[in-house]
Amino acid sequence: MNESLQAISTKYLTTPQIENSLLTAEIQGKDQLMKFVETRLLPTVEPDKRTSFYDPIKRNNVLTFKTIYGVQKTSKDKRQTTPT
């Protein structure tokens, strides 16, 4: 029996990269939160390591079931599907 993750609505199976990305998303978010707190909120010994509170935060870009077939928006109402 295949042990990979499966989308309930579409029954798509994930690739190992997408499965790993989905299963580690919470850990990545917690790591990002700790980095935010350490570099922007806590007083640091070295001021050059401190980041402005208002600087943008990097996205995690977690791979999802949507990335299996590369759905891309081409306009407001139309979508184009390109197999990857």
DSSP 4-66: S-B-TTT-PBPPHHHHHHHHTHHHHHHHHHHHHIIIIIS--S-GGG---TTSPPPP-----GG
Residue 32 counted as domain residue: yes
Is residue 64 a part of any domain in this protein? yes
How many other C-beta atoms can be found within 10 angstroms of the C-beta atom of residue 14? 20
Whether 49 is in a domain gets the answer yes
Is position 5 within any domain? Answer: no
Residue 6 within any structural domain of the chain:
no
pLDDT (average), residues 8-12: 78
pLDDT at 1: 46
Rounded Cα gap, residues 65 and 71, in angstroms: 10
pLDDT tens digits, one per residue of 29-46: 999 999 999 888 887 767
What is the mean predicted confidence (pLDDT) over 65-75? 69
Q: Is residue 71 situated within a structural domain?
A: yes
Number of domains the chain contains: 1
pLDDT at 78: 58
Domain that holds residue 52: 16-81
Residue 81's DSSP bridge partners are 71
Asked if residue 32 lies in contact with residue 73, where contact means CB atoms within 8 angstroms, the answer is no
Instruction: Give the lowest-confidence range in 22-36, 39-53, 67-81.
Output: 67-81
Across all residues in the chain, what is the average pLDDT? Answer: 79
What CA–CA distance (Å, rounded) separates 15 from 61?
A: 16
Determine, yes or no, domain membership for 75.
yes
